[in-house]
Amino acid sequence: MAQRTLPEDDPEIAPFWRAAAEGKLLLKRCDACSKVYYFPRAVCPHCWSRKTSWIGSPGVGRIHSYTVVHLSPGPGFSVPYVLAYVDLDEGVRMLTNIVNCPTDGVEIGMPVKVTFEKLQEKVGVPLFEPAR
Ligand SMILES: [Zn+2]
């Protein structure tokens, strides 16, 4: 994969990128309704509460769906790569890339675990690879 575009410098989400740079996956959990959600944001998408907390995730799940991208969408992408939805055990779905696996080795339902690509000192990106 070529150099990825850095995420927006948003203090609301910065802990997510910083944790990924340290090899940790964070999700948000609502203190009001207890639901876990992704993408991380300050307001719960289920009940609109602002009382939310960061929680650690082991980053274990299964591929819900995927596609192999053969045509680069722009600079920073090297093809082919796998774009996938991964369902984590916590019940959230993440849009991500599957790495460390041949593109023809990816299957729906395949168990995967998180891995990380460090882009900068305080910015990492969670990706997924086959669970072995
Ligand atoms: Zn809530």
Q: Is the pLDDT of residue 111 over 90?
A: yes
| Rounded Cα–Cα distance for residues 17 and 11 (Å) | 10
CA of 89 from ligand 1 middle (Å) equals 19
The mean pLDDT value of the chain amounts to 94
**Is 93 in a helix, a strand, or coil?**
strand
CA of 24 from ligand 1 middle (Å) equals 23
CA of 45 from ligand 1 middle (Å) equals 7
Q: What mean pLDDT do residues 108-125 have?
A: 96
Q: What mean pLDDT do residues 13-41 have?
A: 97
Q: What mean pLDDT do residues 40-47 have?
A: 96
3-state secondary structure 78-90: CCCEEEEEEEECC
CA of 46 from ligand 1 middle (Å) equals 5
Q: Is the pLDDT of residue 76 over 80?
A: no
Rg (CA), the chain: 15
CA distance readout (Å), 98 to 68, 73, 126: 10, 17, 10
Which pLDDT belongs to residue 2?
A: 56
Domain boundaries, the chain: 14-130
Which pLDDT belongs to residue 7?
A: 84
Which pLDDT belongs to residue 71?
A: 94
For 115: left if phi > 0, alpha if psi spans -120 to 50, otherwise beta; the answer is beta
